[in-house]
Amino acid sequence: MAIEAISVQYEYKKHVNIRQEMVENLREWIRKQPHLPAEFITDLDIILAFHCCEYDTERTKHLIDLNFTVRTLFSFYQNREVNECIEKALDTWLVTPLSTSTKKGYRPIYCQILDSDPNKFVYQDAVRAFTMIVDLWQYEEGTVPGIVIILNMKDVSLGHISQIDLIVARQFFYYLQEGMIVKLKEFHFINAPSHMDKLMMMIRPLMKDTFLNVIKVHEAGSKTIEEYFPIAALPEESTGIILKENILKKLKANRQFFEDESKKRVNEAKRPGGPKTISSFFSNVETSFKKLEID
């Protein structure tokens, strides 16, 4: 069944610092930006960005422009259809929001590998599925104090890590740090294997120094995640397939949401000061490599 967006009026009641006139002022600014897709940007989009930026108008303007630019230029925001590629991606890994909040009140997004065969793992499709699920969840959930990602590394092999496309990874970590319209407060790796250092060696150059403080690594068998989130609220291993099926059904029932979202793209030809390209974000040197080689 198709979901309904969180009520804008509910968001106004929930946050005394968000008033309709503030949203209207931001919308008026959006209308004056010839490159932004003003007719497709919703009041909820504006509210999510305004809340994420702690009600700072200028920061919100920057985030709105950045978020829709990322959606236009980054590879995993293209072809966002609930198709065979997405179905295969969800056969290999689970992405699901959890209803239990962390001890600080943040909302968790839980991820884990479902298929131990790394040859079936397509990193770009996995990232695309992640962003689709988070977008749909935000549309239904509205503003939250922040999110945390809990990535269960139990069945992540060196083979899975070697499938990571570094060009996509660079874009994904930029999105996590700069482009999302919700704050990523923590990123937990639980059941970290002995080869966790190989993954960290790869992703550390993709992160700002301040973002390193967000990363928390919990060794296999440890219970240190309990300091942040109750272990009992993590999905049981046997429920992974059921949760995946529920997520897939939800995506299929909301194809119209993704069709509408695909219209929220920047027209770079109309951007004042000239168009942005992918090289506006990253050095061209990244085109010289695609995958991490594991010794």
Report yes or no on 229 lying in a domain: yes
Q: At a CB cut-off of 8 Å and minimum separation 6, what does 56 contact? A: none
Residues 22 and 147 in one domain: no
Q: How many domains does the chain have?
A: 2
Question: What integer pLDDT is reported at residue 236 of this predicted model?
Answer: 87
Q: What angle do CA 142, 143, 149 make, to 5 degrees?
A: 100
Residues 59 and 184 in one domain: no
- Give residue 124's Cα distance to chain centre: 13
Inform me whether the pLDDT recorded for 229 exceeds 70.
yes
In terms of domains, do 268 and 191 share one?
A: no
Distance between CA atoms of residues 260 and 197, nearest Å = 40
Instruction: Kindly state whether residues 162 and 249 are assigned to the same domain.
Output: yes
Query: pLDDT band at 208, cuts 50/70/90?
Result: very high
In this structure, is residue 208 part of a structural domain?
A: yes
- The answer to whether residue 294 sits within a structural domain is no
The verdict on 246 and 269 lying in the same domain is no
Residue 247 is part of a domain; what is its CATH number? 3.40.525.10
Residue 49 domain boundaries: 8-77+256-274
pLDDT tens for each residue of 145-203: 999 999 999 999 999 999 999 999 999 999 999 999 999 999 999 999 999 999 999 99
Distance CA 216, CA 135 (A): 24
Q: How much is the pTM?
A: 0.94
Both structure tokens of 259: 């069709």
